[in-house]
Amino acid sequence: MGEAAPIPIVDFGKFLNGNEKEQESVAAQIDDAFQNVGFVYLKGHGVPKEKVEECFEWSKKFFDLPLETKMLAPHPPGGSHHRGYSAPGVEKVSQHTYDADQIAKLREIPDYKESYESGNVDDPAQPNIWLPEDELPGFRAFMEIYFTLCASLVHRILDALSLSLHVPSPGLSPTHNKSLFQLRLLHYPSLPISQLTKNARSRINAHSDFGTLTLLFQDSVGGLEVEDPKNPGKFRSVEAIEDCVLVNIGDLMARWSNDRWRSTVHRVGLPPSIKGVKERVNGEEMVKPRYSIPFFATANMDTIIDALPGCVDEKHPKKYEPVTAWGYVQMRMAALYD
């Protein structure tokens, strides 16, 4: 078995600003990456670098607050209202995993992370849960703007995917026009390296994302690993690449594409090169904290998820019954929280 296919880097600027031919070429490259690896790096993606950096700064400021303060914006119990702050140890398994056997297995190794989730200000089903403004002035305003920047990028990626499959105009973007997306700030606190090597704790257990598309910005600490689709159980590390956003397919999109596009399993563990990211505290070797910012997209809840054009032919018979995006979420949630 050979080396895993690397995650391609695609210049999305040529889609955003290019002519028809360039757009078609970018769309084909993304389609290819999603077929082979389920992940792609996009450069020239249009989310301003200074906004990404500022988001990491806000994230650090937020997580640096005392626990009692962060608990002023608590994530409600259960999984149907996914907003607010979750303290380390609260979310025992990845919310994006639904296979029952897998969940049972994963419960054995707790993730050590804290998170803060916000979403579309116009999402009536899941209102945002903010801190009182004077606890972190400006945080809310920034997150609301940053959300719209990421949402715009999601819509442009959907345009590219539509082009690659020749989905008739206006393509897939309208199926996401409610922008029921989720912006997640993640902080993996420093912890003894031995806890990760002995599997006493993980940072985030192996899972796949469950929406349509995920955007991910990560800091330079490292530790993200993606499974080799051709070699289950084998993971390769995925570094942050300057000025690139990492984009991956989620389970709903995999189903929608009749498994043309892969929803690839990934996890966060010990960084591959621990040298620059360890520190000694009270005689114990610790791995430095990690910050990352995923942005999860999904389709409007009434969208019928039925094999997309170009995804069914003689060689690829239709694998799944149509389901609404809402029905699909119910199915996943039921498995996760029962």
Ligand X SMILES: O=C(O)CCC(=O)C(=O)O
In the complex, which residues of this chain contact ligand X (CB under 6 A)?
A: 96, 184, 186, 204, 209, 216, 218, 224, 266, 268, 292, 294
- Residue with smaller CB distance to ligand X, 70 or 211: 211
* Binding partner at 131 among Fe ion, ligand X, none, C-beta below 5 to 8 Å by kind: none
Name the minimum Å distance from CB 143 to Fe ion.
Answer: 20
Query: Of 165 and 211, which CB lies nearer to ligand X in the complex structure?
Result: 211
208 binds, among ligand X, Fe ion, none (CB under 5 to 8 A by kind): none
Q: Residue 199 region, left (φ>0) first, then alpha (ψ -120 to 50), else beta?
A: left
- Closest CB to Fe ion among 115 and 179? 115
Tokens, residue 110? 């707790």
When binding is defined by CB under 5 A, the residue of 31, 159, 209, 251 that contacts Fe ion is 209
What's the min distance (Å) between Cβ of 285 and Fe ion? 27
* Closest residue to bound ligand X by CB: 292
Q: Which does 269 bind (CB under 5 to 8 A by kind): Fe ion, ligand X, none?
A: none
The C-alpha atoms of residue 271 and residue 29 are separated, in whole angstroms, by 29
Copy the structure tokens of residue 278: 């360890």
Cβ-based nearer residue to ligand X, 162 or 218: 218
Rank residues 216 and 323 by Cβ distance to Fe ion and give the closer one.
Answer: 216
CB of 188 to Fe ion, least distance (A): 13
DSSP per-residue codes, 122-134: T-TTS---PPPGG
Q: Smallest distance from the beta carbon of 291 to ligand X, in angstroms?
A: 8
Buried b (16+ CB within 10 A) or exposed e, 183-192: bbbbbbeebe
The answer for residues whose C-beta is within 8 angstroms of residue 31's C-beta and 6 or more apart is 161, 164, 165, 261
In whole angstroms, how far apart are CA 242 and each of 6, 34, 42, 45, 239? 17, 21, 10, 12, 9
Q: Which residue lies nearer to Fe ion by CB, 11 or 209? A: 209
Give the 3-state secondary structure of residue 195.
helix
Give least dist CB 198 to Fe ion, A.
23
268 binds, among Fe ion, ligand X, none (CB under 5 to 8 A by kind): ligand X
292 binds, among ligand X, Fe ion, none (CB under 5 to 8 A by kind): ligand X
Question: Is residue 239 at the binding interface for Fe ion, with CB under 5 A as the rule?
Answer: no
Q: Which does 176 bind (CB under 5 to 8 A by kind): ligand X, Fe ion, none?
A: none
CA distances in angstroms from 295 to 59, 229, 314, listed in the order given: 14, 23, 35
Any residues with CB less than 8 A from the CB of 17 and at least 6 apart, and which?
none
In angstroms, the CA 111 to CA 109 distance is 7
For residue 153, the 8-state DSSP code is H
Provide, rounded to whole angstroms, the least separation between the CB of residue 152 and ligand X: 21
Shorter beta-carbon distance to Fe ion: residue 209 or 239: 209
CA within 13 Å, CB half, 75: 21
Contacts to Fe ion by CB under 5 A = 209
